[in-house]
Chain A
Amino acid sequence: MGASITEADMERVDAALHEVYDPEVGLDIVTMGLIYRVEAGMEKVIIDMTLTTPGCPVSDSLPEEARQAAARALDPGGDERVNLEIVWDPPWNPEMIDDDALADLGYRRVTD
């Protein structure tokens, strides 16, 4: 039986995910709106993450980087305590980006 997830664990995981950057846009994945869910399970942190588009250039490395960051935040035994799932529903769009960052990047709001 592993250790349960505490509130402090969740705060560390959240901070760790803020340190993982989308290498093309230059924003962290939380500000980008790529993290849909971070929840404490019985013994694991459950993370639902998406990517900007299917076939995104970092679709192999970014989720793994996020998982590793969360695992490091939960050490010791962090590897076994993170369950990260790539999801596509709802599809990501730039409206999910933090408002200030959206304006800085000059992204278009969805109108259709």
Chain B
Amino acid sequence: MAVSEASVTRKSPPSGGPPVSPLAVPPAWLPLAWLACAVVGLIGFGTTLAITANTIVHAPGAPTAVATVHIAMLAFLSTAVLGASHQFGPVVAGRRLRSVTAGLITLALWVPASWLLPFAFATHRPVLLEIAGVLAFSAVCLAAWNLSGPLLRRGRGTPVLGLRMAIVFLVLTAAFGATYAFDLHHGFFLLLPRRVLAHAHLGLIGWIGLAYVAVAEKLWPMFLLAHRPSTAAGDWAVRLVAGGVPVVAIGLLIPSVPLTSIGAGIVVAGLTAHLVSLAGVIRHRRRRMELLHAYVLTSAVMLIVAVWAAAIAGMFETSTAVRTRAVQTEIFALTMWLALAIVGHLHKIVPFISWSRMRKAGHTKAPNGRPLLFAHLVNAPAARTAYITGVIAAVSGTAGLAGSHVFLVEICGVALAITGLVVLVNLTSGPLRIIAIDKRAATESESESDSDATTETPTPVAVS
């Protein structure tokens, strides 16, 4: 039945959030395809981390280490955030993507690029690097154009504003990468550590981090059922992170220690506001603590670890070895801040998207005959297992990099790969199980009707 806008009237919510238009929601297969590729990226990241642990600990600038980091950033984190943006942007802004087909083409360009680029790094193949760079940059430009449709809509609050800024940082990060690729032939932009750090912070905090900080302002109150008296902390978080990251990047590029410090201070203030916002949501939540809280809180702990590691690297007079370990720990902790948050929210977002799609396809009942709920699409023990392996990865990886213990980094890699595998199987098997049960029921019902029809058929009378 078509939606009758005339008979369902929507008033704007009191907090200024937009009423959601069903027409803005992209087809379920688009975000689900992105998110499935992201989880495969997590498995790939864990596997390569386990394999390259020794190099990562002892020679973080070596090609295989750089390749592993790029699998984490591109094939896992960026793919997840791009996928979520293709769902979240249109839904929250109340305006559809410019083109669903462009969303699919972006995915088709991005996923091969996100694997080819690390492969090219690891195998020293400049031609492949250039091909992957062109694919990735094209995907980023296409995504920015497509998402600008919903994200340029005015008056849609902090989450949309933050996501809009995050996309700008994505383009800048990609431009940085493109400059490196161009430099392979011209040698005007050497890979100095401070440039690498500028690139890393633009991507990790400006793009992926800011996207999460912004989107959390919508997701947390929704999933934790919190009615907060004020959203000021979240508003500040988005504005300070968005304002501080370019200052840090410019400070590192010039280079200027005072500018970098000022930028870092602004970013830390923003991230602190983000944590204050989380505390507010938890304080005003109306639901008992559940698995998502555990994911989000552990993720927040990793953010605090990252800030401390960055402070050690930037503020204290230490040896180069200690500074290198501190920077490695910071980057890893930031990665786990986002990884745990993403994996936790996937257990909420994917069942919701799958649920809507399944209802449209006529799968409205759970195996017990009750109405289909989100909970029927996720296996709770498996979700808890993914959390435990995720925490093992976070703790062992942090300790391994901070203390230069290769075996701990190997454990981290294995734990991450297991986490990805469990999430992939859990979130795909739930809906498939319901579909299989419905198909079996339909087949049985059909054969019963056939057998009834056969029984009712009059016995032919032989005519002699």
Chain A residues with CB under 8 Å of chain B are 19, 21, 23-24, 26, 52-61, 63-64, 67-68, 79, 82-89, 91, 93-94, 105-108, 110, 112
Q: Does B154 touch A at the CB level, under 8 Å?
A: no
Q: Which of A24, A57, A64, A93 sits near B8, CB closer than 8 Å?
A: A64
| Pairs A–B under 8 Å by Cβ, sample size 5 | A19-B371, A55-B218, A67-B8, A85-B11, A86-B9
The residue in A54, A84, A89, A91 that gathers the most chain B C-beta atoms within 10 A of its C-beta is A54
Which of B55-63, B125-133, B282-290, B329-337 lies at the binding interface? B282-290
Could you tell me if B287 and A86 are in contact, using CB atoms closer than 8 angstroms?
Answer: no
Q: Does B255 touch A at the CB level, under 8 Å?
A: no
Using Cβ atoms and an 8 Å threshold, which residues of chain A touch B21?
60
**Ranked 10 nearest A-B pairs via Cβ:** A54-B13, A54-B17, A106-B288, A60-B22, A21-B371, A85-B9, A86-B10, A94-B286, A57-B352, A59-B20
Could you tell me if A64 and B3 are in contact, using CB atoms closer than 8 angstroms?
Answer: yes
Q: Which of B9, B15, B25, B225 sits near A94, CB closer than 8 Å?
A: B225
**Which residue in chain A gives the minimum CB-CB distance to B288?**
A106
Could you tell me if A57 and B359 are in contact, using CB atoms closer than 8 angstroms?
Answer: no
Interface Cβ pair total, 8 Å cutoff: 104
Other A-B pairs, 10, CB within 8 Å; known A23-B352, A84-B7, A107-B288: A24-B374, A52-B225, A59-B20, A61-B356, A82-B7, A84-B9, A86-B8, A86-B9, A87-B11, A91-B14
Q: Does B373 touch A at the CB level, under 8 Å?
A: yes
State in angstroms the CA–CA spacing of A74 and B422 once bound together. 46
Q: Does B258 touch A at the CB level, under 8 Å?
A: no
State in angstroms the CA–CA spacing of A26 and B140 once bound together. 40
Using Cβ atoms and an 8 Å threshold, which residues of chain A touch B239?
none
Q: How far is the CB of B154 from chain A (nearest CB, A)?
A: 17
Could you tell me if A86 and B225 are in contact, using CB atoms closer than 8 angstroms?
Answer: no
Q: How far is the CB of B143 from chain A (nearest CB, A)?
A: 23
Using Cβ atoms and an 8 Å threshold, which residues of chain B touch A88?
11-14
State in angstroms the CA–CA spacing of A21 and B365 once bound together. 11
State in angstroms the CA–CA spacing of A23 and B15 once bound together. 24
Q: Interface residues of A: mostly helix, strand, loop or mixed?
A: loop
Q: Does B193 touch A at the CB level, under 8 Å?
A: no
Could you tell me if B11 and A23 are in contact, using CB atoms closer than 8 angstroms?
Answer: no
**Which residue in chain B gives the minimum CB-CB distance to A68?**
B1
Could you tell me if A54 and B15 are in contact, using CB atoms closer than 8 angstroms?
Answer: yes
Using Cβ atoms and an 8 Å threshold, which residues of chain B touch A84?
7-9
| Residues 331 to 388 of chain B near chain A (Cβ within 8 Å) | 348, 352, 355-356, 359, 371-375
Q: Does B221 touch A at the CB level, under 8 Å?
A: yes
Q: How far is the CB of B136 from chain A (nearest CB, A)?
A: 31
**Which residue in chain A gives the minimum CB-CB distance to B6?**
A83
The proximity string for B residues 126-170 relative to A, scoring 1 for CB distances below 8 Å and 0 otherwise, is 000000000000000000000000000000000000000000000
Q: How far is the CB of A39 from chain B (nearest CB, A)?
A: 15
Using Cβ atoms and an 8 Å threshold, which residues of chain B touch A61?
22, 356, 359
State in angstroms the CA–CA spacing of A19 and B359 once bound together. 15
Could you tell me if A67 and B288 are in contact, using CB atoms closer than 8 angstroms?
Answer: no
The residue in A19, A24, A84, A107 that gathers the most chain B C-beta atoms within 10 A of its C-beta is A24
State in angstroms the CA–CA spacing of A57 and B355 once bound together. 11
Could you tell me if A55 and B7 are in contact, using CB atoms closer than 8 angstroms?
Answer: no
Could you tell me if B4 and A67 are in contact, using CB atoms closer than 8 angstroms?
Answer: yes
Q: How far is the CB of A75 from chain B (nearest CB, A)?
A: 12
**Which residue in chain A gives the minimum CB-CB distance to B287?**
A107
Using Cβ atoms and an 8 Å threshold, which residues of chain B touch A89?
14
Using Cβ atoms and an 8 Å threshold, which residues of chain B touch A94?
225, 286-287
Using Cβ atoms and an 8 Å threshold, which residues of chain A touch B374?
23-24
State in angstroms the CA–CA spacing of A89 and B15 once bound together. 11
State in angstroms the CA–CA spacing of A14 and B341 once bound together. 40
Using Cβ atoms and an 8 Å threshold, which residues of chain A touch B348?
57
State in angstroms the CA–CA spacing of A55 and B221 once bound together. 9
**Which residue in chain B gives the minimum CB-CB distance to A92?**
B227
Using Cβ atoms and an 8 Å threshold, which residues of chain B touch A21?
371, 373
Q: How far is the CB of A27 from chain B (nearest CB, A)?
A: 10
State in angstroms the CA–CA spacing of A76 and B289 once bound together. 46
Q: How far is the CB of B405 from chain A (nearest CB, A)?
A: 41
Q: Does B112 touch A at the CB level, under 8 Å?
A: no
Using Cβ atoms and an 8 Å threshold, which residues of chain B touch A58?
352, 356
Using Cβ atoms and an 8 Å threshold, which residues of chain A touch B355?
23
State in angstroms the CA–CA spacing of A13 and B56 once bound together. 64
Using Cβ atoms and an 8 Å threshold, which residues of chain B touch A52?
222, 225
State in angstroms the CA–CA spacing of A93 and B15 once bound together. 15
Could you tell me if A93 and B222 are in contact, using CB atoms closer than 8 angstroms?
Answer: no
Q: Which of B19, B22, B218 sits near A86, CB closer than 8 Å?
A: B19
State in angstroms the CA–CA spacing of A61 and B15 once bound together. 21
Using Cβ atoms and an 8 Å threshold, which residues of chain B touch A105?
287-288
Q: How far is the CB of A44 from chain B (nearest CB, A)?
A: 9
